[in-house]
């Protein structure tokens, strides 16, 4: 049920004072659906065989740039049309089984959460442990949570970074909530080792679990500047980190209805002039990140952090405006004035 329908149903029901209390509770519950649930206290484990329905596959695919990439969270085709219910058993094996039983020392009757990296989440209880894995019995129907806010896609030329700097970049992009990360191949960064990609896939999954994300982050195959050009041209939110450009905050739009955006960071030594011109011609907006020269990974995380904070603030403001509109339609503006003033508090809980 949409927030609008929920709020209108509440407004039609209880008396005015009760309506105030219920409306705040509904707003808080809506904000907590993907928040506190994502920060739940139960240990969480990845299970690729935990789809909710065909809709889960559509949500996952719509939030990512179309590509032929392999994902750390790609689902098994045989599972896409299944719906898991209370009492069903999910088998946990491999690294997740090791983490569950050897690292966290969980056993029979311990409660856990299972997620599939595409919005599917369900609570269960361990019912059996043997040498090959653990059987988790579901305590509720599996649910699907849609991504919230603008989905940011990172294109960064990090193939030549050394000393764990690439690992740090990918890990922090995951923790900050990036939808995808794509290695960018340029004249000054023309390759990335295949064995590094495999390692980064494992790192992404570990970071997703660590920061309690419901949706996984896609790690796409490398892409050339020429192939990035049409992607940029189709996006209305494309930012290019570039020295001596207008500050990022001065280029952000005051309002935005886009569902996704792109941020582009060049290699050590920066893009060539020709590459910059290609991206600008495709529609990328050059933005500055301050007076200091930044490393590739520092520029990537700085830009992503700023955009995530901006888009999150925009999302909350949009929800607030929607609530104000509903209240005005019901001619209860004065009765609900204190709710509007307390909106940031309700969202933060």
Contact 141, 152 (CB under 8 A): no
Structural domain boundaries of the chain? 3-37+315-348, 44-144, 151-314
Domain made up of 44-144: CATH architecture: Beta Barrel (2.40)
**pLDDT tens digit sequence for 49-77:** 764 433 333 333 444 443 333 334 433 33
CB-based contacts of 81-85 (< 8 A; 24+ apart in sequence) = 81/51, 81/53, 81/54, 82/51, 83/52, 83/53, 83/141, 83/142, 84/50, 84/51, 84/52, 84/122, 84/138, 84/141, 84/142, 85/138, 85/141, 85/142
Confidence category of residue 79, pLDDT binned at 50, 70, 90: very low
pLDDT digits (tens, 9 = 90+) for 24-46: 333 343 334 444 444 458 888 88
Instruction: Give the number of other Cβ atoms within 10 Å of residue 246's Cβ.
Output: 12
Tell me which fold the domain 151-314 belongs to: Alpha/beta knot (3.40.1280)
Query: What pLDDT shows up at residue 83?
Result: 56
State the average pLDDT for the chain: 76
Number of helices (H) and strands (E), helices first, in the chain? 12, 13
Choice between 31 and 280, residue whose per-residue pLDDT is larger:
280
User: Does the global pTM surpass 0.85?
Assistant: no
């Amino acid at each position: 049920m949409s927030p609008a329908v929920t709020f209108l149903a509440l407004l039609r029901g209880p008396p005015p004072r009760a309506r105030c209390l219920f409306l705040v509770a509904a707003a808080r519950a809506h904000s907590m659906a993907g928040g506190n649930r994502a920060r739940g206290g139960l240990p969480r484990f990845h299970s690729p065989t935990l789809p909710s329905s065909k809709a889960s596959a559509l949500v996952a695919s719509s939030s990512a740039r179309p590509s032929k990439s392999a994902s750390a969270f790609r689902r098994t085709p045989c599972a896409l049309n299944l719906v898991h219910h209370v009492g069903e058993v999910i088998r946990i094996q491999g690294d997740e089984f090791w983490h569950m039983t050897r690292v966290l020392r969980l056993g029979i009757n311990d409660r856990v959460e299972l997620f599939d990296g595409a919005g599917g989440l369900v609570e269960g209880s361990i019912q059996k442990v043997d040498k090959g894995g653990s059987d988790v019995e579901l305590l509720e129907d599996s649910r699907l949570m849609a991504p919230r806010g603008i989905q940011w896609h990172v294109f960064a030329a990090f193939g030549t970074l050394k000393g764990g700097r690439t690992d740090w970049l990918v890990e922090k992009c995951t923790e900050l909530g990036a939808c995808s990360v794509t290695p960018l191949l340029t004249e000054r960064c023309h390759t990335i080792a295949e064995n590094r990609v495999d390692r980064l896939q494992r790192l992404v999954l570990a970071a997703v679990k660590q920061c309690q994300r419901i949706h996984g982050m896609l790690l796409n195959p490398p892409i050339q500047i020429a192939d990035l050009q049409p992607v940029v041209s189709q996006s209305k939110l494309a930012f290019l980190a570039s020295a001596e450009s207008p500050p990022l905050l001065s280029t952000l739009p005051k309002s935005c209805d886009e569902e996704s955006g792109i941020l582009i960071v060049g290699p050590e030594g920066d893009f060539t002039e020709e590459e910059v011109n290609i991206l600008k011609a495709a529609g990328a907006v050059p933005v500055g990140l301050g007076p200091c020269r930044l490393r590739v990974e520092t520029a990537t995380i700085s830009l992503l952090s700023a955009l995530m904070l901006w888009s999150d603030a925009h999302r909350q403001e949009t929800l607030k405006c929607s609530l104000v509109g509903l209240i005005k339609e019901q001619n209860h503006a004065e009765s609900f004035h204190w709710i509007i003033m307390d909106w940031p508090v309700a969202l933060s809980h």
